[in-house]
Chains A and B, each alone.
Chain A
Amino acid sequence: MKHSWLLAPAAAVFAAFWLLPIARLTVVGASGPDGIATYAAVVTNPQYFRSLVSTLILSAAVTAATLIVSAIAGLFLSRNRFPGRGFLTAMLTFPLAFPGVVVGFMVILLAGRQGLIGQVTQWLTGENLVFAYSMAGLFLGYLYFSIPRVILTVMAAAEKLDPKLEEAARSLGASPWRVVIDVLIPGLKPALISAGAICFATSMGAFGTAFTLATRINVLPITIYTEFTNYANFSIAAALSIVLGVLTWLVLNLARTFAGSTVAAAA
C-alpha cells in the first residue's frame, strides 16, 4: 500500500515507549544475584508462590461468581420488558467507568470500619462485621468491578440469540431449566468465555482496588509493588511482573481461541 508510512508515528511511539522498555524489563528480571533463575522464583520461593496461588484462586472465584450473577441479571434484563428496565440497566452499568481505587472505596463504604454491613450486623447481632481490608473485601471489590462489564456483554449476546430457539425448545416440552442448559448457555458460550477471560485477567493484574483496601493483602500485584518500592528489589519485581503479564496474556489468548472473538482487557 502506498501510504503505509502513516503507521510510522504510532509504531515509533509504541516501540520507543513499550517494546524497548519491556525488553529491558525482561533483561532486568534476569540480572539479579540468581540470574535467569529469578524467573523461577514465583514457584520456588514459598512466599511468591503463595502470592501466585492466592491470586489465581481469587481470580477464578471472582470470575465464576461474576459470570453466574451477570448471566442471571443480564438474561433477565434482555428477556423481559417492564417499566423501569432502562433505568435498572443504566444503574447496573453506571460503575463501568470507576477506576480500581474508587471501587476499593465503595467496598470500604460497604464493609469497612464505618461500613453499612457493619452497622447492620451491629444492629442485628451486636457485633460489627468488618471484612473490607482482607481477601474477602478484595473479592467483593473485583466482583463490583466486573459485574457491569459482563452484564453488558451478556445482554449484547442475548439480543443476538434467536428467541425462536427457546420457543422451539419449550414447545417440544423442555423445562425452563433444560432451556437454560441446552439453549441459552450454549448460545451465550462465546460471550461468556471471552467476558470471563477479561474478568480473570483484570483480577490477576488489578492493582488500584487492592492498594486502596490494604497493602498487606497477599496478591501478586501488591507483592510486585512492595518488592519494587519498599525493598528496591528490581530484578524480582521485573521477573514477577513479566510472569504476571505472560499469564494474563495467555488467558486472554486461550479464550480467544475458544470463543473466536477479539478480546481485550478493560480498564
Chain B
Amino acid sequence: MRFYLQLAFTLLVTAFLIVPVVMSILAGVTENFFIGLKSGLTLRWIVEVWELYARTVYFSIGIALACLAATLVLGVPAAYVLARAQNRWTRAFEELLVLPVAVPGLATALALILFYGQLRGFRASWTFILVGHVLFTLPFMVRSVLAVMAAIDLRTLEDAAASLGARFAQRFFHVVLPNARPGIIAGSLMVVTLSMGEFNITWMLHTPLTQTLPVGLADAYASMRLEIGSAYTVIFFFMIVPLLLALQWLGERTVR
C-alpha cells in the first residue's frame, strides 16, 4: 500500500516535469494550439523559427565552443596547480573562482557593463558574451578536472616519468593530461551544456547582434505566438539532449 502511494506521488512529480515538455513539443508542430491537434500537424513553425532565429543557434554553438577552448586552456593548468600544491593560497583561489556561480549572474553582468561598457568595440563584440560565459563555467571545469587529479597519485606518476628523463612539458602532456582525461571530458560536456543554456548573465550583456539561443528564446516567448515559442524550444531540446545523454552515460561509466 505504502509502495503504491509513494509510486503515485513520484508519478505525479514526473508528470509535473514532463507534461509541459510534451505540450511544448506538440504545440511546436500543431497548426493551431488553441484548437488542438485536430487543426493538423505542421512543420511550418519550425521552419519559421529557423528563418527568424537560425543565427542565434549558430552563435550559441560558436560561443559554447570558444568557451570550451578558453576553459580548457585556463582551467586544466589551474586544476593541475591546485591538485599539486594544496595550501592556504590555492584553497582561497578555489573559493574565489566559484564566486561567479554563487553570486547571482545579474551582479556579474552589471559589474562587467559598468567596468567595460565604455570600450565600445569590446562591448559590442562576441568576446564580451564569451567573458561572461567563461567566468560562469570555469569553476565547473576546474572542479571536474581537480576531482580526478586529486584521486590519482600525480606526484608518484610524475616522479616516475621524471626519473626516466621526461621534462616538464613531456610529463604534463603525456602523463598528467591522459590520466586526467575522464575529468576533462566530463568538465567539457558540463561547460558546453551550461554555456548553451546561460541566460542570467547573457541577457544583460547581449546586443542585437550578439543574441544567443536562450536570449532568442526569451524574445520569442515575449513577442511571438505560442506555437513559435514552442517550436523554438523544441530546437533547443534537440541541441541539449545529446549533451545530457553523454553526461549521464559518462556518469554511469565512471561509477562502475
A264/B114 contact (C-beta < 8 A), A76-B10, A105-B221 known: no
List chain A residues, Cβ under 8 A from B111. Answer: 18, 21-22, 24-25
Complex-state Cα separation, A116 to B26, whole angstroms: 13
B75 CB–A CB distance under 8 Å = yes
Query: A6 with B77: in contact, given A244-B104, A245-B103 (CB under 8 Å)?
Result: yes
Within 8 A of A (CB), among B32-84: 33-34, 73-75, 77-78, 80-82, 84
Q: Is the CB of A109 within 8 A of B84?
A: no
A101 at the interface (CB under 8 A from B): yes
Task: Take A13-B134, A114-B34, A144-B17 as given contacts and tell me if A237 and B78 are in contact as well, using a CB distance cutoff of 8 Å.
Answer: no
Q: Is the CB of A110 within 8 A of B19?
A: yes
Chain A 111-141 per-residue mask, 1 if CB under 8 angstroms from chain B, else 0: 0001010000000000000000000000000
Contact in complex: B21, A28 (CB < 8 Å): no
Q: Is the CB of A21 within 8 A of B244?
A: no
The residues of A that contact B114 with a CB separation of less than 8 Å are 21, 24-25, 28, 234, 238
Is A196's beta carbon under 8 Å from chain B? no
Q: When the two chains form their complex, are residues A208 and B9 in contact, meaning their CB atoms are under 8 A apart?
A: no
A105-B233 in contact (CB<8A): yes
- Segment with Cβ contacts to B, from A39-47, A84-92, A164-172: A84-92
| Option from B107, B112, B138, B248 in Cβ contact (under 8 Å) with A10 | B138
Chain B contacts of A252 at CB under 8 A?
102
Q: Which residues of B contact A25 (CB under 8 A)?
A: 107, 110-111, 114-115
- 1/0 contact trace for A74-111 toward B, CB 8 Å? 00110010100000101111111111111011111110
A69 within 8 A of B: yes
Given known A148-B17, A201-B102, contact A97–B244 (CB-CB < 8 A): yes
Whether B97 pairs with A10 at a CB distance below 8 angstroms is yes
Does residue A173 face the partner (Cβ distance < 8 Å to B)?
no
Complex: A237 Cα to B98 Cα, angstroms: 23
Q: Which of A1, A108, A211, A248 contacts B103 (CB 8 A)?
A: A248
- Distance in angstroms between the alpha carbons of A212 and B84 in the assembled complex: 45
Contact A101-B217, Cβ < 8 Å, known A6-B77, A248-B103: yes
Q: Which of B20, B34, B85 contacts A109 (CB 8 A)?
A: B20
Pick from B73, B104, B217: contact of A204, CB under 8 Å: B104
Residues of A contacting B226 with CB < 8 Å? 108, 114
* B6 on the A face (CB < 8 A): yes
Which residues 148-162 of A have a CB within 8 angstroms of B? 148
CB-contacts of A25-55 with B (<8 A): 25, 28
Task: Determine whether the beta carbon of B168 is less than 8 Å from that of A3.
Answer: yes
Shortest Cβ gap from B233 to chain A (Å): 6
A-B contact list, 29 entries, CB within 8 Å:
A6-B81, A10-B77, A13-B74, A17-B112, A21-B115, A25-B114, A92-B10, A94-B18, A98-B197, A98-B240, A99-B197, A102-B214, A102-B233, A105-B230, A108-B226, A114-B33, A116-B19, A144-B16, A205-B104, A207-B105, A207-B199, A207-B203, A208-B203, A212-B218, A212-B221, A241-B106, A245-B107, A249-B102, A266-B101
- Chain B residues close to A by CB (< 8 Å): 2-3, 6-7, 9-11, 13-14, 16-21, 23-24, 27, 33-34, 73-75, 77-78, 80-82, 84-85, 90, 93, 96-108, 110-112, 114-116, 131, 134-136, 138-139, 142-143, 168, 193-194, 196-200, 203-204, 214, 217-218, 221-222, 226, 229-230, 233, 236, 240, 243-244, 248
Q: A9-B77, A110-B16 are in contact. List 18 more A-B contacts (CB 8 A).
A: A1-B85, A2-B168, A13-B138, A14-B135, A22-B111, A25-B111, A91-B18, A93-B248, A99-B217, A102-B217, A105-B229, A116-B19, A201-B102, A224-B110, A241-B106, A244-B107, A245-B104, A252-B102
